[in-house]
Amino acid sequence: MTDLNPRRVAADLLEAVLRRHRALDEAMHEPSLGFARLADRDRAFVRRLVATCLRRLGQVDAVLKGFVKIWPKGLPLQALRLGLCELLFLDTPPHAAVSSAVELLPAGSKARGLVNAVLRRAGREGAAIIAGQDAARLNTPAWLRRRWEAAYGADLAQAIMIAHQAEAALDISTKPGRAAAWAEPLNAVLLPSGSLRRLAGGAVESLPGFADLPAEWWVQDAAAALPARLFGADLAGRQIADLCAAPGGKTAQLLSLGAEVFAIDRSEPRLQRLKQNLARLGLKAQVRTADATAWQPEAGLLLDGVLVDAPCSATGTIRRHPELPYLKQESDLVALTALQRRLLHHAITLLKPGGLLVYATCSLEPEEGEAQRDWLLAQPELEAMPIQPAELGLPAALIDASGSLRCLPCHWPEHGGIDGFFAARFRKR
């Protein structure tokens, strides 16, 4: 397939994320980085290595700083980080981890001796150091920890940070009435919310039914599958706009329930992915490349529903995207919340009287959830439509006093957790 060194690809991916601030999924699609040219087994190894290194970066760097007191110019940082990650978290035999990291450096490089010495010392002392670390705090940037402690209290914040140390399971949505039939073929359990949760890993493309045309299932986190269900179980004849639609999981849900869906997104590449996903499922939406803060349906048409799954900090998805804490900044919230407010203001104008507005974000930040909910409650055109736990198959604790959904990564531990999410529902007067 290729003679690329998988660990070299891993180092380049880590560099792309931490130095060039690229999302890991985007970096893996960069042709120049070579991930797509690796054999399947090597791709799985590289993905696991890089994701684990990002998830445990605070711990890895703490060990490194304890061993290297003076950092020379040109320190091969990513090679050291990956080597430490293999030694301390992936149970790679010490000789293999050390030699593989050293080989990432050019022959004759003076840094080879440093890498060799640091990793050999880590092989002797690292396990004891890791055992004494506060992993949750080390692996969480201070600004996020501070915000979560203020929003949820110290205990819940600690539980959130601990939950982020484990990779999220693969969740799957199916067409209506098909979840139970697909549980066994997909080696999955049926969650109370209706999603399927895989019990093992594996490439999505190789799973049973993926290549079927039309297919009956698609990958979608259990939390992300909840907002579309707030419009009801039978949407035949109803016209609904999904204002930030790509990559299309919620659009597929709405279409499967019988709705006519306007799928709106400003990103043409992301909409191409949505079209591909819908074609695989045999579903068709009215797809529009447009600014969702200004898009209008045909003249005079008012809609039965609008879903605003708004662009946000995505801090509720850190289990799936461990690079997020190193790509986001607290200052990003100002622009994001302003954009959400514009989207919501415009969404109200698109609704007919009696139409439903569902607002959702995959964020843990109150500004991207409760604060926007409170603003919507103050709009004279809207009235609250409280969510009932039974609608979504959720524990009552996940619905707050106002009838909004607030789930955290530490919720549902008996099922393996769930992404952080917020959702609220309103009806136009």
The amino acid occupying position 180 is A
Residue 362 catalytic? Answer: yes
Pairing of strands 303-309, 239-242: parallel
Both tokens of residue 152?
A: 């949820």
Q: Give residue 83's Cα distance to chain centre.
A: 26
Both tokens of residue 49?
A: 């290595």
Choosing from 53, 85, 362, 407, the catalytic residue is: 362
Range 106-111, long-range pairs (CB < 8 A, 24+ positions): 109/76, 111/72, 111/74, 111/75, 111/76
Residue 191 near residue 197 (C-beta atoms within 8 A):
yes
286 φ, ψ (degrees, to nearest 5) = -85, 95
Which one-letter DSSP state was computed for residue 11?
H
Distances (CA, A) of 382 to 78, 351, 354, 377: 52, 10, 9, 7
- For 294, counting Cβ atoms within 10 Å of its Cβ (0-12 exposed, 13-18 middle, 19+ buried), the class is exposed
- For 338, counting Cβ atoms within 10 Å of its Cβ (0-12 exposed, 13-18 middle, 19+ buried), the class is exposed
Give the residue numbers marked as catalytic. Answer: 362
